[in-house]
Amino acid sequence: MDKLESIQEEVKLDEAGKVALMQEIDQLRKEKNAVILAHYYQEPEIQDVADYVGDSLGLSQQAAKTEADMIVFAGVHFMAETAKILNPNKKVILPDLDAGCSLASSCPPESFGEFVKAHPDHVVVTYINCSAEIKALSDIVCTSSNALKIVNSIPKDRPIIFAPDKNLGKYVMKQTGREMLLWDGACVVHEAFSIDKLIEIHKSHPEAEIIAHPESEEHILQTANYIGSTSGMINYVKKYPEKEFIVATEAGILHQMQKDVPDVKLIPAPSHEDNTCACSECGYMKVNTLRKLYLCIKHERPEIDVPRTIRERALLPIERMLEISK
């Protein structure tokens, strides 16, 4: 075991420790021809060492076109699974297999399969935040960036099932005017936002604009000046750098926003300005750490595997989404 490997997870790394790990990760990435893909909700150091940082759509597009031999996915399990489905012959690794997702878990394959069977005439649209088994039961996948486009691409006379996120589903129904059968799933992070706290914060920052992710509940979305995916929110902030923003999504996104627009004033919702309550952080995303990322790329594990039959069935709805999103 080398010196870096012996650093205990509980030990808070100082700047020198972080730099040493980041240098090692960089070296290993070159030696192994690996690409590191990181979601905006990952901790700042992981975002800084990644080759690409993005939202689910951007990450899938990167995974689909990478020429690297190995994909190191700094995100949650369903994202790494999607990368594996798109790259069956490549090694896909995830720093911690416990990096799950409450939204994906709210849609178990067996009951969803029965739901789909009970509505055989429906087109099944699933948000990418679901397991490979659920994707395999779908006609087309979407992300929060392209959900409106995907639903609008379905002929008007076809009824639709939308799963697993009911909040995104309601938002899409409102925007497209399409009735859809919604699965009753949700994300713990986006459902934890407190409207009372949000109003309280806004009272003390009346000039601030509220920007929200469509996984948030309807009453939060009703207060928002802008609703969009994580990359949509970043682009919105870039457009109005002089403004102040209350950001209703996972707090990890603030790192990229602040990097892109250093002087912009950002306030995470619903916690107070100093964000001490950390209630807008996704515990699943934060299971990954810089140290685990280092160990993962060094030992090339834990590896993601998706059984062939599921992988083959799940590929088509993902490819349909990528085609429409070009």
**Contact positions vs ligand SF4 (CB under 6 A):** 41, 76, 101-103, 129, 187-189, 250, 282, 284-285
Q: Which CB, 17 or 100, lies closer to ligand SF4?
A: 100
Task: Say which residue the tokens 């699943």 belong to.
Answer: 284
Strand bridging mode 91-93 / 123-127: unpaired
Whole-angstrom distance, CA of residue 232 vs CA of residue 285: 20
Q: Which CB, 28 or 285, lies closer to ligand SF4?
A: 285
Half-sphere exposure of 204 (CA within 13 A, CB side): 8
Strand bridging mode 70-74 / 91-93: parallel
Check whether 39 is labelled as a binding-site residue: yes
Q: Which CB, 11 or 278, lies closer to ligand SF4?
A: 278
Whole-angstrom distance, CA of residue 233 vs CA of residue 54: 12
Least distance in angstroms from the C-beta of 102 to ligand SF4: 4
Helix, strand, or coil (residue 52): strand
Check whether 204 is labelled as a binding-site residue: no
Check whether 127 is labelled as a binding-site residue: yes
Least distance in angstroms from the C-beta of 122 to ligand SF4: 24
Least distance in angstroms from the C-beta of 222 to ligand SF4: 20
**8 burial level (CB within 10 Å; 0-12, 13-18, 19+):** exposed
Least distance in angstroms from the C-beta of 22 to ligand SF4: 24
Q: Which CB, 102 or 145, lies closer to ligand SF4?
A: 102
Q: Which CB, 21 or 163, lies closer to ligand SF4?
A: 163
- Whether omega for the bond prior to residue 44 falls within 30 degrees of 0, making it cis, is no
- Whether omega for the bond prior to residue 268 falls within 30 degrees of 0, making it cis, is no
Tokens (6 digits) for 299 = 């030992």
Check whether 284 is labelled as a binding-site residue: no
Least distance in angstroms from the C-beta of 315 to ligand SF4: 22
Check whether 282 is labelled as a binding-site residue: yes
Whole-angstrom distance, CA of residue 70 vs CA of residue 90: 6
CB 144 within 8 A of CB 55: yes
Check whether 268 is labelled as a binding-site residue: no
Least distance in angstroms from the C-beta of 55 to ligand SF4: 10
Q: Which CB, 68 or 101, lies closer to ligand SF4?
A: 101
Question: Which residue from 269, 120, 291, 101 is spatially nearest to 201, judged by alpha carbons?
Answer: 269
Check whether 275 is labelled as a binding-site residue: no
Q: Which residues are annotated as a binding site for [4Fe-4S] cluster?
A: 101, 187, 282
Q: Residues marked as binding for iminosuccinate?
A: 39, 56, 127-129, 144, 213-215, 230
